[in-house]
């Protein structure tokens, strides 16, 4: 070997040794305190995520169309009813079966009050098989006495379905009893209906946030609410004396919501008086006191209709919209009423019946109430449309204070094992998920995976969009660079990201967790000490992207326009992974079961973006939310409509674990 060759070999060895020594030396690192400070520093504007939710939702709400003829209006009504029934209220095989199933009615006790002019009948009926609703029927004494006569001889009288809102006393609420007593003393048959989660049904299994347990199983959680109303009407109209031309519904707050729901969708309701019960979705976006609970913001409802639509659909039937001037709860007159009138007045005008749409603004007391002033407005409406020459309806309220009963006196015996949302969901889940077995043939297996991913993407409404990165700032310390970014997705979502980059990163690690990025300093420090480029993000609902007050209401808004929090979160994770990994897959680490599910779904939909997924305290079963009897407020993204009908956690892992890649949870 020549001397020049020996010298070149010697220099090459020295360079290789130097490179090896540099690689073996520990990477320059930041302390955990420094990392924590960098992660905690705000990136977004205050409440930016909530503002983006509102804008995102508003763009997807269905607007009331202009209607120029009666024929066009009737087509609009029929189409909207059909879409709401098929796509929302009776969505899923179970809900369809509930509607078609025969249900029972049991009259349990009749209590005569002849001196007061009426009888009370305690009864219960099934909203759906096995789910019994207690109720009290108020029947005028003369009507009761004539019940044995031939049907042709019976005098027909108006019937009124009285529904209540979020009042823990339920059917025993004084203002509701007073209304029912005044109606029966005017010669009408009144049904005092109990509501889920109130009065005798005030149990955890009937709390409204648990209706989403049915959604998770692919059965509409709104169906029991509607069926309770529909079967209440059935019961009323089955009374021998019922006048099918004079059928009214009235209620306060949640009862007002029930009133407009059944009154718009069931043509049998001839007169409607919702009291401080609803406003349009668009109104709610701008007046946050109106943001409604689970049943008032149902899954997918807003994609097909707004409450402006329902109000207009009342035309030309008599409708009294009652609101309160200084409502201390929600739906104050000034902001709730005008959009409803703007939608409904043209519809009533089409039929030449503008006077059938009336309003009442309560000033005394003006708060959230259905007290004397509002009740008398209801009596006047009944008098205007239900009175006959031989059937007067006085407008002044009758003093019935001595006839109000206690909750115990109105108690209706109930079955021991009455079904509720939770027990019904558990029953459905026993047959879930419905899933085809993966084929053995490799070619067919790939096609099966593709179809399963498409199904999952549709269930969670995941839209894959290109990220746009906007650097907020950057700094360098001891050989490490920290950059803070806003990642814009679809021009609708902004995701805060903090990036730690050493000189020669060996891989990219993506971190996120339920407590937000500020809680991940220890894990970020450990990862970059191992020579990794570390990207820490806050997806929607976590950390800096969390809505500060009643955050589950934001998730409900997204759900009502056919979006899913889980799909939005997964799409955000996928977009950040695309930006962070560039042409390479990233290693994803999640913290907590909610974050773990997001990571599972993201990787199952597009495993090429994620080399590995290491879930810390990750989910074991999707069904766990049913076994633990959790409500929507506790894990909003888990209650994705129909997800458990087709997938369990193990199935999501299978889709994420492509052949030849590191398996789920396997360290790289």
What pLDDT shows up at residue 476? 87
Instruction: Report the percent of the chain where pLDDT is more than 70.
Output: 93
As a whole number, mean pLDDT of residues 222-241 equals 97
What pLDDT shows up at residue 139? 97
| 401 burial level (CB within 10 Å; 0-12, 13-18, 19+) | exposed
* pLDDT over threshold 90, residue 398: yes
Residue-wise pLDDT for 339-393, tens only, equals: 999 999 999 999 999 999 999 999 999 999 999 999 999 999 999 999 999 999 9
Q: What kind of fold does domain 60-426 have according to CATH?
A: Rossmann fold (3.40.50)
What CA dihedral angle connects 219, 126, 189 and 85, to 10 degrees?
Answer: 20
As a whole number, mean pLDDT of residues 310-317 equals 98
What pLDDT shows up at residue 9? 46
The answer to whether 156 and 137 are in contact (CB under 8 A) is: no
User: Residue 416: helix, strand or coil by DSSP?
Assistant: coil
Peptide bond into 365 cis (omega under 30): yes
Sheet bearing 493-501, strands edge to edge: 467-477, 480-489, 493-501, 533-537, 508-513, 586-591, 610-616
- Give the pLDDT band of residue 632 (cuts 50, 70, 90): very high
Instruction: Report the percent of the chain where pLDDT is more than 90.
Output: 84
The answer to whether the 28-57+467-656 and 60-426 domains have the same CATH topology is: yes
Backbone angles phi, psi at 388, to 5 degrees: -130, 170
What pLDDT shows up at residue 152? 63
The answer to whether 250 and 273 are in contact (CB under 8 A) is: yes
290 or 146, which is more confident? Answer: 290
User: Residue 26: helix, strand or coil by DSSP?
Assistant: coil
* pLDDT over threshold 50, residue 285: yes
**What contacts 283, CB < 8 A, 6 or more positions away?**
290, 335, 336, 339
Residue-wise pLDDT for 194-208, tens only, equals: 999 999 999 999 999
> Is-above-0.85 flag for pTM?
yes
As a whole number, mean pLDDT of residues 548-577 equals 95
Residue-wise pLDDT for 163-196, tens only, equals: 999 999 999 999 999 999 999 999 999 999 999 9
As a whole number, mean pLDDT of residues 118-132 equals 98
Q: Are strands 610-616 and 319-324 parallel, antiparallel or unpaired?
A: unpaired
What pLDDT shows up at residue 597? 98
* pLDDT over threshold 80, residue 647: yes
What pLDDT shows up at residue 550? 81
Please report, in angstroms and rounded to a whole number, the separation of the first and last CA atoms in the chain. Answer: 43
What pLDDT shows up at residue 479? 77
**Residues linked to residue 632 through DSSP beta bridges, in sequence order:** none
Q: Give dist(CA 247, CA 612) in Å, integer.
A: 62
**What contacts 65, CB < 8 A, 6 or more positions away?**
76
As a whole number, mean pLDDT of residues 8-19 equals 45
* pLDDT over threshold 80, residue 7: no
What pLDDT shows up at residue 33? 84
Q: Of 227, 217, 214, whose CA–CA distance to 294 is shortest?
A: 214
What pLDDT shows up at residue 151? 65
What pLDDT shows up at residue 22? 37
Q: Which CATH class is domain 28-57+467-656?
A: alpha beta
Backbone angles phi, psi at 476, to 5 degrees: -125, 140
Tokens of 206: 């009937």
- Give the pLDDT band of residue 533 (cuts 50, 70, 90): very high
What CA dihedral angle connects 461, 463, 468 and 472, to 10 degrees?
Answer: 10
What pLDDT shows up at residue 81? 98
Residue-wise pLDDT for 97-124, tens only, equals: 999 999 999 999 999 999 999 999 999 9
* pLDDT over threshold 70, residue 527: yes
Q: Of 643, 588, 637, 644, whose CA–CA distance to 616 is shortest?
A: 588
The answer to whether 95 and 218 are in contact (CB under 8 A) is: no
As a whole number, mean pLDDT of residues 249-276 equals 98
Tokens of 471: 């650097």
Domain map of the chain by residue range?
28-57+467-656, 60-426
The answer to whether 534 and 29 are in contact (CB under 8 A) is: no
Return the DSSP state at 388. B
What pLDDT shows up at residue 30? 67
Q: Of 552, 456, 542, 537, whose CA–CA distance to 499 is shortest?
A: 537
- Give the pLDDT band of residue 153 (cuts 50, 70, 90): low
* pLDDT over threshold 80, residue 662: no
Q: Are strands 493-501 and 480-489 parallel, antiparallel or unpaired?
A: antiparallel
- Give the pLDDT band of residue 148 (cuts 50, 70, 90): low
Look over the chain and give the mean of its residue pLDDT values, rounded to a whole number.
92
Return the DSSP state at 611. E
Q: Give dist(CA 209, CA 255) in Å, integer.
A: 17
**Residues linked to residue 485 through DSSP beta bridges, in sequence order:** 471, 497
* pLDDT over threshold 80, residue 162: yes
As a whole number, mean pLDDT of residues 597-605 equals 98
- Give the pLDDT band of residue 506 (cuts 50, 70, 90): confident
* pLDDT over threshold 60, residue 17: no
* pLDDT over threshold 90, residue 40: yes
As a whole number, mean pLDDT of residues 543-562 equals 93
Q: Give dist(CA 546, CA 537) in Å, integer.
A: 12
């Amino acid at each position: 070997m020549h001397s020049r060759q020996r010298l070149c070999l010697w220099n090459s060895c020295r360079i290789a040794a130097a490179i090896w020594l540099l690689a073996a030396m520990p990477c320059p690192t930041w302390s955990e305190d420094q990392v924590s400070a960098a992660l905690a520093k705000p990136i977004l504007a205050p409440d930016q995520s909530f503002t983006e939710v509102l804008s995102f939702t508003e763009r997807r709400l269905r607007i009331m169309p202009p209607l120029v003829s009666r024929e066009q209006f009737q087509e609009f009504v029929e189409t909207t009813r059909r879409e709401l029934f098929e796509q929302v209220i009776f969505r899923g095989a179970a809900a369809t079966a509930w509607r078609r199933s025969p249900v029972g009615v049991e009259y349990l006790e009749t209590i005569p009050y002849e001196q007061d002019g009426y009888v009370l009948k305690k009864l219960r009926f099934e909203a759906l098989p096995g789910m019994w609703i207690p109720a009290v029927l108020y029947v005028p004494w003369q009507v009761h006495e004539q019940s044995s006569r031939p049907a042709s001889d019976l005098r027909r009288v108006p019937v009124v379905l009285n529904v209540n809102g979020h009042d823990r006393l339920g059917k025993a609420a004084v203002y509701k009893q007073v209304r029912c007593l005044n109606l029966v003393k005017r010669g009408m048959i009144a049904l005092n209906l109990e509501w889920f989660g109130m009065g005798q049904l005030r149990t955890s299994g009937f709390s409204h946030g648990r209706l989403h347990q049915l959604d998770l199983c692919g059965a509409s959680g709104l169906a029991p609410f509607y069926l309770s109303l529909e079967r209440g009407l059935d019961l009323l109209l089955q009374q021998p004396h019922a006048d099918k031309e004079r059928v009214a519904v009235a209620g306060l707050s949640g009862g007002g919501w029930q009133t407009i729901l059944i009154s718009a969708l069931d043509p049998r309701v001839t007169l409607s008086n919702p009291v401080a019960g609803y406003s349009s979705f668009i109104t709610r976006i701008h007046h946050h006191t109106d943001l409604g609970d689970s049943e008032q913001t149902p899954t997918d409802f807003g994609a097909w209709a707004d409450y402006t639509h329902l109000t207009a659909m009342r035309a030309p039937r008599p409708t009294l919209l009652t609101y309160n001037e200084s409502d201390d709860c929600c739906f104050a007159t000034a902001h709730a009423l005008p959009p409803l009138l703007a939608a409904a007045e043209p519809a009533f005008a089409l039929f030449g019946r503008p006077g059938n749409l009336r309003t009442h603004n309560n000033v005394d007391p003006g708060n959230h109430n259905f007290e004397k002033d509002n009740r008398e407005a209801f009596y006047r409406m009944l008098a205007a449309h239900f009175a006959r020459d031989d059937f007067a309806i006085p407008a002044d309220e009758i003093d019935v204070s001595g006839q109000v009963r206690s909750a115990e006196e109105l108690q209706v015996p109930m079955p021991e094992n009455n079904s509720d949302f939770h027990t019904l969901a558990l029953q459905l889940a026993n047959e879930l998920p419905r899933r085809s077995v993966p084929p053995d043939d490799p070619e067919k297996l790939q096609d099966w995976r593709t179809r399963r991913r498409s199904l999952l993407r549709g269930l969670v409404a995941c839209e894959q969009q290109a990220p746009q990165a906007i650097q907020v700032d950057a700094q360098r310390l001891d050989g490490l660079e920290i950059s803070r970014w806003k990642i814009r997705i679809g021009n609708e979502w902004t995701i805060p990201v903090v990036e730690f980059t050493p000189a020669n990163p060996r891989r990219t690690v993506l971190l996120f967790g339920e407590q937000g990025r500020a809680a991940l300093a220890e894990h970020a420090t450990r990862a970059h000490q191992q020579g990794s480029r570390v990207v820490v993000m806050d997806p929607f609902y976590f950390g800096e992207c969390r809505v500060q007050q009643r955050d589950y209401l934001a998730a409900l808004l997204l759900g009502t326009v056919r979006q899913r929090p889980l799909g939005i979160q997964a799409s955000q994770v996928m977009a950040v992974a695309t930006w962070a990994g560039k042409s390479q897959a990233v290693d994803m680490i999640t913290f907590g079961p909610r974050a773990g599910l997001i990571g599972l779904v993201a990787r199952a939909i597009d495993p090429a973006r994620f080399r590995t997924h290491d879930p810390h305290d990750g989910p074991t079963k999707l069904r766990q939310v049913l076994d633990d009897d959790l409500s929507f407020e506790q894990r909003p993204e888990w209650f994705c409509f129909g997800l458990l009908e087709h997938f369990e956690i193990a199935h999501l892992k299978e889709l994420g674990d492509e052949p030849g890649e590191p398996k789920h949870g396997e360290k790289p």
